[in-house]
Amino acid sequence: MILEAKSITFYYRGRKKSPVLNNYSISIRSGERVGLKAPSGRGKTTLCRLLAGYEKPQSGKILLDGKPVTAYRGVCPVQMVWQHPETVVDPLLRLGETLAEAGPVDERIRGALHIEEGWLSRFPAELSGGELQRFCLARALHPETKFLLCDEISAMLDLVTQAQIWKFLLEEAEKRGMGMLVVSHSDGLLEKVCTRIAAI
């Protein structure tokens, strides 16, 4: 499969004069891990949101195998993992319910991400950012996910946990032939994880 952004232009409402992305193109194939590195405010997160179908570009197209990414019904094959996990889980739901949002999560994934049984009955406010990020990852690694967009997913984690999570993600991507977009400020991480680096 191939996920492409074809000459997209995007600006937030009322800021037509300074578009976040101007005539930008990128493509990611299955099995590819593309690194994205740019200073703050250049539209890395916006690009992720666009590719995952959270926003629509003002011009240009975002296609998954030639079909607009927003046209996919049910579980979207392009899943995004957000930089701030605490905003992506409902504060009033126990994490077990949040995790099961798109059907039960594989025991193997849960184990590999070190999600403890006891966490499932807790509320998000009781866990740390790093612990919540594991839930977001587990949820995003739905069997139907073909592309995973990682928006600085490990910025708030300690090095040991980072290594753990990335090791698992790489294995998983390899096994499924999943395409990935990795946004990070860390050169070392991008070098280690990605098959190629793109600019924005």
Size of the site for another protein (CB under 8 A): 25
75 binds another protein, rule: CB under 8 A: yes
Q: Which stretch binds another protein (CB under 8 A): 28-36, 70-78, 110-118, 157-165?
A: 70-78
Question: For residue 165, what is the enclosing H or E element?
Answer: helix 159-176
- Part in contact with another protein (CB under 8 A); list of ranges 1-9, 85-93, 107-115, 167-175: 85-93
99 binds another protein (CB under 8 A): no
Per-residue tokens: 111: 């184990």
Kindly write out the interface string for residues 106-145 of this chain, putting x where it contacts another protein by CB under 8 A and - elsewhere. -----------------x-x-------------x--x---
**Binding residue for another protein, selected from 65, 101, 106, 174, defined by CB under 8 A:** 101
For the four alpha carbons of 6, 10, 16 and 19, in that order, the dihedral sign comes to negative
| H-type alpha helices, 6-158 | 44-51, 95-99, 107-112, 129-140
Cα distance between residue 74 and residue 199, in whole Å: 32
**Nearest to another protein of 92, 160 (CB atom):** 92
Distance CA 85, CA 25 (A): 28
The two three-digit tokens of residue 83, written as one number: 């930089």
Near another protein by CB under 8 A: residue from 91, 111, 143, 177: 91
